[in-house]
Amino acid sequence: MTTEIDALGRPPGQGTEATPAGAVDVLIPSYRRPAALAVTLAGLLGQGHRPLRVVVSDQTEDDDVAGASEVRPVVSVLRHNGIQVDLHKHLPRRGLAEHRQFLLDQARAPYVLFLDDDVLVEPDLVSRLVRAIEREQCGFIGSFVNAASAVHSGKDVDRPPVDVDIELWNGPVEPEVVLPGTAEWGRSRLHFAAYLHRRGAERGLRKESERLYKVAWVGGCVLFDTGKLRLAGGFSFWPDLPADHCGEDVLAQLRVMARFGGAGLVPSGAWHQEVPTTTPDRRNDAPLLLGLDPRPPSRR
């Protein structure tokens, strides 16, 4: 028997409260980064897009990050300015994919922005992402997280290799199957340091002439159509992964892109705070372990 679903990919009766068209839920998974989280939240204060709701889920075991002196006043100011902020403590830790699925389960808006807790976004970025996804009606639009220290660096390592360039969409964004080891997988080389920023500047791409480009995946700042993400399974594959894994965001994007298409936005408008990673072990890479599994998502 086929289960009916609504526009957000939910079964009937699940989270049916009315949500305005164009609303965005910003979903932030956090772990042991109160100072960086505060900066990320402060970047949302200036966003002109409304309605905007922020959902933070923290997995720091031995501290209350939401109550930290750096975080608490920013949350108060966001609320004072009419932005709803929901704070969750989500334990035990069962891996990054399970954490993201928990956040997705909290979503009510037609769009969700998965934003890492070490990313600073420019004031107009949410509006730019929403305009792009509404125009293209695709599964996601991502904003590559540039490394600010590399923008004006004179180091050779921060200069894009000659064979790394932007592959622009010259028509509507369409579904693509991107697999490890393919030529399309090599698009990920553009997402290093400030390569995208430099190549975009060389082409004269500014916000008033922004473009969408083809990606393998985008890390750190991705706006999804909530219903399409859920229809592609979201992060419900988490029980099939060891708790210590990475690449869960990549796998979810690959599955959405295969069904609905996805793209990156240039210029980006997202910046990395360049703090140390909280996921140093990269051995259990979700796309390599699970692939584009065509099985229907499990229902929990």
Does residue 37 contact residue 30 with C-beta atoms inside 8 Å? yes
Does residue 254 contact residue 292 with C-beta atoms inside 8 Å? yes
The reported pLDDT for the residue numbered 294 is 44
Q: Which long-range contacts (CB under 8 A, 24 or more apart) does 181-187 make?
A: 184/214, 184/216, 185/216, 186/216, 187/214, 187/215, 187/216
Does residue 293 contact residue 259 with C-beta atoms inside 8 Å? no
Query: 256-296: per-residue pLDDT in tens?
Result: 999 999 999 999 999 999 998 877 777 889 999 998 754 44
- Tokens representing 117 are 């807790």
Q: What is the pTM of this model?
A: 0.91
Q: Each residue of 74-93: b (16+ CB within 10 Å) or e? A: bbeebeeeebebebbebeee
Residue 138, amino acid: C
Does residue 253 contact residue 168 with C-beta atoms inside 8 Å? no
The reported pLDDT for the residue numbered 282 is 78
Residue-range domains of the chain with CATH? 24-274+281-289 (3.90.550.10)
Q: Give just the sign of the alpha carbon dihedral 103, 105, 108, 114.
A: positive
Burial of 257 (0-12, 13-18, 19+ CB in 10 A): buried
DSSP 8-state code for residue 50: S
Residue 4, amino acid: E
The reported pLDDT for the residue numbered 67 is 85
Least Cα distance to 227 among 51, 2, 6 occurs for 6
Residue 89 phi/psi, 5° resolution? Answer: -110, 115
Least Cα distance to 126 among 44, 40, 205, 208 occurs for 44
- Tokens representing 230 are 């859920």
Least Cα distance to 142 among 117, 113, 167 occurs for 113
What averages of pLDDT result for each successive group of 10 residues across the chain (300 residues)? 52 56 95 94 94 95 88 97 94 93 98 97 97 98 95 83 96 95 95 95 94 97 98 96 93 97 97 86 87 51
CB atoms within 10 A of CB 162: 6
Q: Give just the sign of the alpha carbon dihedral 89, 92, 96, 98.
A: negative
The reported pLDDT for the residue numbered 76 is 97
